[in-house]
Amino acid sequence: MTDPALEFLHVSCAFRSRKDTGPAAYEAVADTTLRVGAGEFVSLVGPTGCGKSTLLNVAAGLLGPTAGEIRVFGHPLAGINRRAGYMFQAEALMPWRSALGNVMAGLEYRGVSADQARQQALDWLGRVGLEAFADHYPHQLSGGMRKRAALAQVLALDPDIILMDEPFSALDIQTRQLMENELLDLWAARKKAVLFITHDLDEAIALSDRVVVLSAGPGTHPIGEFRVDLPRPRDVAEVRMHPRFVELHAQIWAVLRDEVLKGYAQQLRRVA
Ligand SMILES: Nc1ncnc2c1ncn2[C@@H]1O[C@H](COP(=O)(O)OP(=O)(O)OP(=O)(O)O)[C@@H](O)[C@H]1O
């Protein structure tokens, strides 16, 4: 049997507040075991502040778990996850570099020669529909174009695992659906493992092979797992009309709703 691309094994993460001198103050994630197969698209949904980004940071190797282990293709992760590319919610482009320069940067950092990096970067900008904007700087691009450039930046490095933290949440709904469809096309062509975080249950179902529901914090952990057996290729707008989509949505929402309410109550208690 082949190893999963990414495994969380009994992972816990606790944060100490600045004022706190005692034992760990806030356990964001507790005893989470979760697997993403090679080529599988898995979404994590959960209430706001429950620990989704924390899990992604742990998978990227940016944050060490307080307990448990991450395995990447069967090997324990120590340090940065070199087989993963990370796409953040916030803008990650360097404002002083053109779209081309931004996509080239990661390749050059990996030791690819300038000529080759330029060629590969142009190729990826073409695939995300930005060939005519290669010389534009981030401030000269629309929000959707900046996301496309960021996607090209991640995919150009050809990672085996793609970690995405609400990458399209800042976009208007039409641009967002275009980007989601583009992501599905690019994913279908290369079949990388994707771990995708979103607040939006519709987005999670439309994109994924599997949706994992996380509990409200503290001590967030998976409380439900749903296989999305909708046919592919999918159009994210059309698939929402599919009777199975509606059925899955109702099933997942039945689990998620209570956690969302608990999550709001928990956040209010923490700021009080
Ligand atoms: N460096 C940190 N220090 C202290 N607490 C932290 C730190 N990082 C995260 N937390 C806390 O851990 C919890 C989980 O945060 P995280 O950002 O992972 O949640 P999230 O589910 O991604 O949130 P959102 O849905 O709002 O994006 C939150 O309550 C947050 O306040």
- Cβ of 15 closer than 6 Å to ligand 1, yes or no, is yes
Indicate whether 23 belongs to any domain.
yes
169 or 70, higher pLDDT = 70
| Total domains in the fold of the chain | 1
Q: What is the CATH number of the domain that holds 52?
A: 3.40.50
Q: Whose CA is nearest to atom 15 of ligand 1?
A: 51
Segments forming the whole domain that contains residue 221: 6-81+199-271
Indicate whether 87 belongs to any domain.
no
Confidence of residue 20 (pLDDT cuts 50, 70, 90): low
Indicate whether 152 belongs to any domain.
no
- What phi and psi values does residue 258 have, to the nearest 5 degrees? -60, -35
- Cβ of 50 closer than 6 Å to ligand 1, yes or no, is yes
Indicate whether 38 belongs to any domain.
yes
Find the helix or strand (DSSP H, E) in which 11 lies: strand 6-15
Indicate whether 259 belongs to any domain.
yes
Indicate whether 126 belongs to any domain.
no
In whole numbers, what is the pLDDT of the chain averaged over residues? 92
* Angle between the N-to-C axes of helices 114-127 and 99-109, in degrees from 0 to 180, rounded to the nearest 10: 130
Residue 21's pLDDT is 58
Query: What is the rounded CA–CA span in Å between residue 175 and residue 171?
Result: 6
Indicate whether 107 belongs to any domain.
no
pLDDT surpassing 80 at residue 266: no
pLDDT surpassing 70 at residue 101: yes
Confidence of residue 169 (pLDDT cuts 50, 70, 90): confident
What pTM, to 2 d.p., does this model score?
Answer: 0.92
Indicate whether 24 belongs to any domain.
yes
Question: How many C-beta atoms surround the C-beta of residue 85 within 10 A?
Answer: 22
SS3 assignment, position 131: helix
Distance 205 CA to ligand 1 centre (A): 24
CA separation (Å) from 43 to 36, 193, 227? 10, 11, 11
CA angle 144, 182, 203 (to 5 degrees): 85
pLDDT surpassing 70 at residue 18: no
- Cβ of 53 closer than 6 Å to ligand 1, yes or no, is yes
